[in-house]
Amino acid sequence: MKKRVAVLRGDGIGKEVTDAATAVLDSIGRRFHHEFEWVNGLLGGEAVDKAGQPLPEETIKICEESDAILLGAVGGPAWDNHPSHLRPERGLLQIRKHFELSVNLRPVQAFKSLLAVSPLKEEVAEGVDMMIVRELTGGLYFGEPSFHDNEKAVDTLVYAREEIERVVIHAFELAKQRRNKVTSVDKANVLESSKLWRKIVEEVAENYPEVEYEHMLVDAAAMKLITYPAAFDVVVTENMFGDILSDEASVITGSLGMLPSASLRADGFGMYEPIHGSAPDIAGQNIANPIGAILSAAMMLRSSFGMEQEASAVEKAVKSVLEDGYCTNEFKNIGRKVLSTREMTEKIINEI
C-alpha cells in the first residue's frame, strides 16, 4: 500500500522522537512492501514563530491531503508568556476540533521489565493493561459560553447525544477485541451531563450483551486506578475527566516516554502522538525515549491503515528490545543498558 502521512514534529523532543517513528515505519515499509510518504507541516511553537499561528492554514491543507497525522509534541517555555491564541497547545485543540478527532485512545501498560521504576508497588502495577477512551472534542473544552473578566468566570460543559454515543460505541467495540469489560466513568451524583452519559452507556450496552460494563464515579475511579489498576480493561469517559485520569494512569508505567495515543475521527482518519510533552530540557540531546512515538506509529498502522500484522511487528520489536534489557536515559538508575534515541531506534529496527 501507499500511504501519505502528515508529519507534525512540533517542538523540543517532538522532532527527534517523530524522526525515530518514521524511521521505524520506513523499515516496516521495506519488510511489508508499503510505501510511506512523509509530508512535514508546522504545528505549535515553531508554527507560531514561523507562521504567526499555532495551526497554520498550510498545515491544515497538508493534513487534509494525507491519510493520517503523526505528531511529536508541542510547547516550551519560549511561548509560555504568549497570549492564549498564540500558545502552542492551542494548535492541538484546534487540530482536534478541525478534524473532528473525537475519540482519544490511550493504552496504559505496565512493562514487566520496568516495574522497578513504577511508583506503585510491583504487585500492584503488574499485569496492568488498560485502554482509556476519552471523548476529545466536547465538554468543558469547547462549550459556550466561556469567558472571564475580573469578577467572574464561566465555562460550560455541553454534550449532545451523538457525541456521547460515538465514543461509548467505540469503547464497547474495543472491549470486544480485548477482555470484554467497560468501565464508564462519570459524576452522575452531581452532573446533569453525567446523567445523560450514564443513560446512553446503558442503551449502548444493550447491543453488547457479551461485554460486561460498570459505572464508576470519577472520584472512585481516581482511587481505584491506583489501588487496583489491573482491574480495568476499557475505561471510557468525557473530555476533562479523561484528561485527568489518563495522565494519572500513565504514571503506572513508570515513564511517560513509553506511552502512545491515537485521536480518531469516525471514518478512521486519525492523529497519532506520544503522550509525553516536548521536554525542552532534554531536547536535541539524542537522549529522549522514542518508544511512545514508535508505539503511536504502530497505532496508526492498526487504526488508520488496517495493517494489524505490521502494527504487531512494531510492538513485538519494542517488547523484545525492552526484554533484552535496553532502555533510554530516564531509566539509567535501574541497572539496565542505556541507549541514545538513535541507538534505541536502530535496535528496534533491527528486530523488525
Ligand X SMILES: CC(C)[C@H](C(=O)O)[C@@H](O)C(=O)O
Cβ proximity to its own copies, 1 vs 158, nearer residue = 158
Q: Which of 89, 315, 343, 351 touches its own copies (CB under 8 A)?
A: 89
Cβ proximity to ligand X, 87 vs 347, nearer residue = 87
Q: Is position 287 annotated in a ligand binding site? A: yes
Distance of alpha carbon 290 from alpha carbon 349, whole angstroms = 12
The H-or-E segment that residue 272 falls in is strand 270-274
Kindly identify the residues of this chain, within the stretch 196-215, that bind its own copies according to CB under 8 A.
Answer: 196-197, 199
The partner in contact with residue 250, picked from ligand X, its own copies, none with C-beta cut-offs of 5 to 8 angstroms by kind, is its own copies
Query: Residue 345's closest CA among 22, 71, 110, 72?
Result: 22
Distance of alpha carbon 107 from alpha carbon 261, whole angstroms = 7
Beta carbon of residue 93, minimum distance to ligand X (angstroms, whole number): 6
Query: Residue 178's closest CA among 210, 141, 220, 218?
Result: 210
Kindly identify the residues of this chain, within the stretch 309-348, that bind ligand X according to CB under 6 A.
Answer: none
Task: Please confirm, yes or no, whether 247 is among the known catalytic residues.
Answer: yes
Distance of alpha carbon 17 from alpha carbon 282, whole angstroms = 12
Kindly identify the residues of this chain, within the stretch 248-277, that bind its own copies according to CB under 8 A.
Answer: 248, 250-251, 256
Q: Which of 3, 87, 96, 336 touches its own copies (CB under 8 A)?
A: 87
Cβ proximity to ligand X, 93 vs 256, nearer residue = 93
The partner in contact with residue 155, picked from ligand X, its own copies, none with C-beta cut-offs of 5 to 8 angstroms by kind, is its own copies
Query: Residue 24's closest CA among 296, 329, 338?
Result: 296
CA 215 to chain centre: 23
For residue 189, state whether it binds ligand X (rule: CB under 6 A).
yes
Of the residues 219, 324, 332, 337, which is catalytic? 219
Distance of alpha carbon 86 from alpha carbon 142, whole angstroms = 17
C-alpha cell at 133: 477512551
> 33-58 burial, b for 16+ CB within 10 Å, e for fewer?
ebebebeebbbbbbbbeebebbbbee
Interaxial angle between packed helices 341-351 and 14-32, expressed in degrees from 0 to 180 and rounded to the nearest 10: 20
Cβ proximity to its own copies, 59 vs 246, nearer residue = 246
> CB–CB of 266/107 below 8 Å?
no
Cβ proximity to ligand X, 73 vs 307, nearer residue = 73
Q: Is position 186 annotated in a ligand binding site? A: no
The three state secondary structure string of 33-91 is: CCEEEEEECCCCHHHHHHHCCCCCHHHHHHHHCCCEEEEEECCCHHHCCCCHHHCHHHH
Query: Residue 261's closest CA among 302, 221, 220, 225?
Result: 302
Q: Is position 290 annotated in a ligand binding site? A: no
Of the residues 3, 15, 187, 347, which is catalytic? 187
Residues 101-130 as x/- pattern, contact with its own copies by CB under 8 A: -----------------xxxx--x------
Q: Which of 154, 158, 160, 190 touches ligand X (CB under 6 A)?
A: 190
Q: Which of 203, 219, 281, 323 touches ligand X (CB under 6 A)?
A: 219
Q: Is position 277 annotated in a ligand binding site? A: yes
Q: Which residues of the shown chain bind ligand X in the complex (CB under 6 A)?
A: 89, 92-93, 189-190, 219, 243
* Catalytic residue IDs: 141, 187, 219, 243, 247
Q: Which residues of the shown chain bind its own copies in the complex (CB under 8 A)?
A: 84, 87, 89, 93, 118-121, 124, 140-141, 143, 146-161, 187, 189-193, 195-197, 199, 218-220, 222-223, 225-227, 240-241, 243-248, 250-251, 256
